């Protein structure tokens, strides 16, 4: 990824894995290049030493042989005396430039030292595409002889060497990637676990194996998760205990109010006590919803399950209809699922006056149960907030109805328990649709 800053484009990678990979690969590549440079330099020095030693030891001997041979036999010996960096030519050779470079002058000095003062010699640089020198001298009988020198800086590179270098670089890349992956994978697992942290779900705990630092971080994270789960459990138990203990005094107050003389104040008091009693019962239901996972899962026929729920409402005169029904069965916790659908239908009846239940099975096996109404809906920016406990809209969806703010929260809690997801969205033309998606077993 490329990040733009006020001063231009920052090419430094964003992720820790990429940064470590770049640093490690760059360091290994530089070290490898330095090693190769040292070996190449050593090879160059060795080649120069071999070439100069050959010039010093062989040229003088070769000239002495040619000088003692009869003129007619000298030509046949030229190929025998030739070497990789020089050869002998009978004749004046090619005219060249007597001005030599520093490197060529060094070679010329070696040739002069090898021949000695017995044979006057002239050295010239021959023009052309390659580095080439010619030394001109005359043998004892006056025949011109030319030494054609082609200095070699290094020995030829083998054909297989580039493939070896490519293989070494590939190995460096692979090893760097594996090392970085081993180092950063625990961090990625920790970040993923933190992002999906849910103390109420039965997600696997982080593995506490590996290097000491990684194991310590995983142990600390698991301990933190356990503490959060314990705190939540304590608060749910406190809510359940308070709600349960309040039911007895509320019932006594209702009995006393009902035994009082008829009056407007008596009726208001009874309605207030009924509202408090409903709030307490919802609190108990929400506390119990956190323990819905204790129910055993069983296989149910979804179409029959939904129809049975709708018939129960219809028997009491409620406007609950059944739309599209997909077929098939699913493994789930039936009591928790029934409570979810009951809360969603009650919510639709309360704020829309009617409810429609639809059942669909997607191609991936996911079951979608949709409860729809034609009420006023919910503002888009509060669709997620209404799933939180005790949350109520600033303006009720119906002035004649209220609520404890726990119905949808209980449905959301139970949906998590059965491994489903609950989503609210406004319908085209008005109304609210609550969609419960249950993954395939």
Q: Model confidence over 35-51: pLDDT tens digits?
A: 878 877 777 777 767 66
Average pLDDT (267-292) is: 71
Token pair, residue 375, equals 């009420």
Cα–Cα distances in angstroms (integers) from residue 11 to residues 14, 82, 150, 177, 198, in the given order: 9, 57, 47, 19, 37
- Residues 178-222 pLDDT 10s: 887 777 777 777 777 777 776 656 677 778 877 777 788 888 888
> Mean pLDDT, the chain, as a whole number?
78
Mean pLDDT of 239-268: 78
- Is the Cβ–Cβ distance between 367 and 437 less than 8 Å? yes
* pLDDT digit string, tens, across residues 369-390: 999 998 888 888 888 888 877 6
pLDDT of residue 195: 74
Instruction: Give CA–CA dist 260/266, Å, rounded.
Output: 7
The predicted pLDDT at position 157 comes to 60
| 135 phi/psi in degrees, rounded to 5 | -105, 125
* pLDDT for the residue numbered 415: 86
* pLDDT per position as a tens digit, 159-182: 777 788 788 888 888 888 888 777
Q: Using CA atoms, how far apart are residues 123 and 133, in angstroms rounded to an integer?
A: 7
**Which pLDDT belongs to residue 371?**
92
CA distances from 136 to 100, 104, 112, 160, 260 (A): 15, 15, 11, 40, 140
CATH class of 19-149: alpha beta
Residue 313 has pLDDT above 80, yes or no: yes
User: Band of the pLDDT at 395, cuts 50, 70, 90?
Assistant: very low
Domain ranges of the chain: 19-149, 295-397+405-438
Residue 359 near residue 302 (C-beta atoms within 8 A): yes
Confidence of residue 116 (pLDDT cuts 50, 70, 90): confident
CATH code given to domain 295-397+405-438: 3.30.565.10
Quick one: average pLDDT of 73-86? Answer: 82
In the chain, % of residues over pLDDT 70 = 83
Pairing between β-strand 329-332 and β-strand 367-372 as defined by DSSP bridges: unpaired
* Mean pLDDT along residues 312-336: 85
Q: How many helical (H) and strand (E) elements, i.e. helices and strands, does the chain have?
A: 9, 13
pLDDT tops 60 at residue 411: yes
Neighbours of 115 (CB within 10 A): 20
User: DSSP code of 387?
Assistant: G
**Between the CA atoms of 234, 275, 336 and 204, what dihedral angle is there, to the nearest 10 degrees?**
-30
Distance CA 56, CA 111 (A): 7
Residue-level pLDDT at 294: 61
Count of positions (residues) in the chain: 441
Q: Is 342 exposed, middle or buried (0-12, 13-18, 19+ CB in 10 A)?
A: middle
The pLDDT-based confidence of 6 (bands split at 50, 70, 90) is very low
In degrees to the nearest 10, what's the CA dihedral of 310, 316, 321, 322? Answer: 20
CB 289, CB 408: distance < 8 Å:
no
Distance of alpha carbon 393 from alpha carbon 386, whole angstroms: 7
Report the percent of the chain where pLDDT is more than 90: 5
* pLDDT tops 50 at residue 399: no
68 pLDDT more than 80: yes
Mean pLDDT in residue range 258-263: 79
Q: Is it the case that residue 397 has pLDDT exceeding 70?
A: no
Tell me the helix, strand and coil percentages in the chain, rounded to 5.
Answer: 55, 15, 30
**3-class DSSP state of 344:** helix
């Amino acid at each position: 990824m490329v990040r733009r800053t006020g001063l231009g484009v920052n090419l430094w990678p964003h992720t820790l894995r990429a940064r470590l990979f770049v640093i490690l690969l760059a360091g290994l590549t530089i070290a490898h290049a330095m090693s190769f440079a040292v070996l190449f330099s050593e090879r160059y020095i060795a080649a120069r030493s071999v070439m100069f030693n050959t010039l010093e030891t062989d040229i003088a001997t070769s000239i002495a042989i040619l000088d003692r041979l009869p003129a007619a036999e000298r030509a046949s010996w030229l190929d025998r005396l030739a070497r990789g960096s020089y050869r002998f030519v009978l004749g004046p050779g090619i005219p060249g430039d007597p001005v030599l470079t520093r490197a060529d002058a060094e070679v010329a000095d070696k040739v002069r030292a090898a021949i000695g003062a017995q044979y006057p010699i002239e050295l010239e640089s021959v023009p052309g595409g390659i580095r080439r020198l010619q030394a001109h001298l005359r043998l004892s009988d006056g025949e011109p002889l030319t030494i054609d020198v082609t200095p070699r800086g290094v020995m030829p590179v083998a054909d297989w060497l580039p493939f070896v270098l490519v293989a070494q670089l590939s190995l460096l890349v692979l090893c760097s990637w594996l090392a970085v992956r081993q180092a950063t994978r625990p961090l990625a697992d920790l970040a993923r676990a933190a992002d999906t942290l849910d103390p109420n779900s039965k997600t696997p705990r982080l593995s506490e194996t590996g290097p000491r630092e990684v194991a310590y971080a995983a142990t600390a994270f698991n301990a933190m998760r356990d503490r959060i789960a314990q705190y939540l459990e304590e608060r749910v138990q406190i809510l359940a205990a308070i709600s349960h203990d309040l039911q007895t005094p509320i019932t006594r107050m209702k009995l006393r109010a009902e035994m009082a003389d008829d009056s407007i104040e008596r009726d208001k008091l009874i309605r207030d006590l009924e509202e408090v009693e409903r709030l307490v019962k919802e609190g108990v239901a929400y506390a119990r919803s956190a323990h819905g996972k204790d129910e055993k899962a069983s296989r149910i026929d979804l179409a029959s399950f939904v129809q049975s729920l709708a018939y129960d409402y219809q028997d009491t005169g409620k406007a609950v209809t059944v739309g599209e029904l997909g077929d098939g069965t699913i493994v789930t916790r039936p009591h928790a699922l029934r409570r979810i659908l009951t809360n969603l239908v009650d919510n639709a009846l309360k704020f829309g006056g009617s409810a429609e239940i639809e059942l669909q099975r997607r191609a991936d096996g996911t079951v979608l149960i949709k409860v729809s109404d034609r009420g006023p809906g919910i503002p888009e920016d509060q669709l997620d907030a209404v799933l939180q406990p005790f949350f109520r809209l600033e303006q009720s969806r119906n002035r004649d109805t209220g609520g404890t703010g726990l119905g949808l929260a209980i449905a959301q809690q139970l949906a998590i328990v059965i491994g489903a997801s609950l989503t609210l969205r406004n319908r085209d033309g008005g109304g609210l649709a609550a969609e419960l998606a249950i993954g395939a077993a």
